[in-house]
Structure 1
Amino acid sequence: MPGPVVRVQEAGFDLAAEAARLTEGRTDIGGLASFVGLCRADDGLAALVLEHYPGMTERALARIAQEAWGRWPLTGCTVIHRVGRLVPGEPIVLVLTASAHRAAALDACAFLIDWLKTSAPFWKREEFADGASRWVAAKAEDDAAAARWAKPA
């Protein structure tokens, strides 16, 4: 059984094509969970610019995808995160998790997106229609969501 697929890319992605690639010819999959994060037009946002360090980011995402693979009985996992300049309405991130049963697929998907939101090594800068820009700070509610996945000491 192959392990997780992780990609960091500027190009967009196609949810249906990625789901088909993950499930093609597979009869061991009983549940496929997906999450697609989109760029929202909050407070006059014109674009979101995502920066990263190539190599380091892919390794960090691969580590957490491998952790999900080990924590749940997954039969497939795809994580795609875009970088570069994205405008409202464009997809930013895709998480697909497959398992024989829905609970594992859903939990692993939630784990991955919570981790990506709080700990993935991306730097986000918002650009506004008036020409202003600002770096995006971490949010306490995102940290609280991710904390539920911490392993007991």
Structure 2
Amino acid sequence: MFTLSLEPLEAEALKAKVINPQSGGFVAFEGWVRNHNQKKEVTELHYEAHEKLAVQVGNAIMQDAMNKFDINLAYCCHRVGRLAIGDMAIWVGVSSDHRKAAFAACEYILNQTKAKVPIWKNEFYQNGESGWVEANL
């Protein structure tokens, strides 16, 4: 499942969505807002999304991952709105019988989300400027 959130992401609550007694492996990725990008000091980010399309594309990626990898459950949540330095911007979690599939699926979901889901990042800089940023895979 793929969701967007205006509220801060809570890793333990998100992890609970992919816990499965059949699974021997669990992998999670947390993407945090850092204080720099391309030699500029970042003060905050604003994420915007086309909500309906983002959820539709995100859920298609999740279904694709379920079909491509031998995994039991997967979940991805991306923040939207204003984020401060250190806030979690994206969380991806995958459970599977074995770790190899969980690692591969987690990386796939993250990369596909960054490449395909209509979410836009506006960075705000220490010097008072701001700018839209392309996804870096």
TM-score, normalized by the shorter chain, greater than 0.5: yes
Structure with higher Rg: it is 1
> Could you tell me how far 1:17 is from its partner in structure 2?
2.2
1:35 maps onto 2:26 in alignment: no
In structure 2, the gaps of 5 or more residues are none
Instruction: Choose between structure 1 and 2: higher helix proportion.
Output: 1
SS at the partner of 2:113?
helix
Larger RCO: 1 or 2 (CA < 8 Å, sep 6+) = 2
> Could you tell me how far 1:138 is from its partner in structure 2?
4.5
Instruction: Choose between structure 1 and 2: higher strand proportion.
Output: 2
Amino acid in the other structure paired with 1:18: L
Instruction: Say whether the 8 Å CA contact 2:57–2:116 is kept in structure 1.
Output: no
Instruction: Report sequence identity in percent.
Output: 28
Residue among 4, 15, 29 paired with 1:8: 4
For 2:121 and 2:14, how far apart are their aligned partners in 1? 25
Residue among 15, 22, 36 paired with 2:18: 22
In structure 1, the gaps of 5 or more residues are 143-153
SS at the partner of 2:27?
strand
For 1:81 and 1:21, how far apart are their aligned partners in 2? 15
Count, aligned residues: 134
For 2:135 and 2:5, how far apart are their aligned partners in 1? 23
**After TM superposition, which residue ranges in structure 1, 4 or more long, deviate above 6 angstroms?**
none
Deviations 1:79-129 (A, max 9, x none): 000001111100000000010011111100010111122222111111112
For 2:134 and 2:92, how far apart are their aligned partners in 1? 23
Partner of 2:64: 67
RMSD of the TM alignment (CA)? Answer: 1.2
The TM-score normalised by the length of structure 2 is 0.92
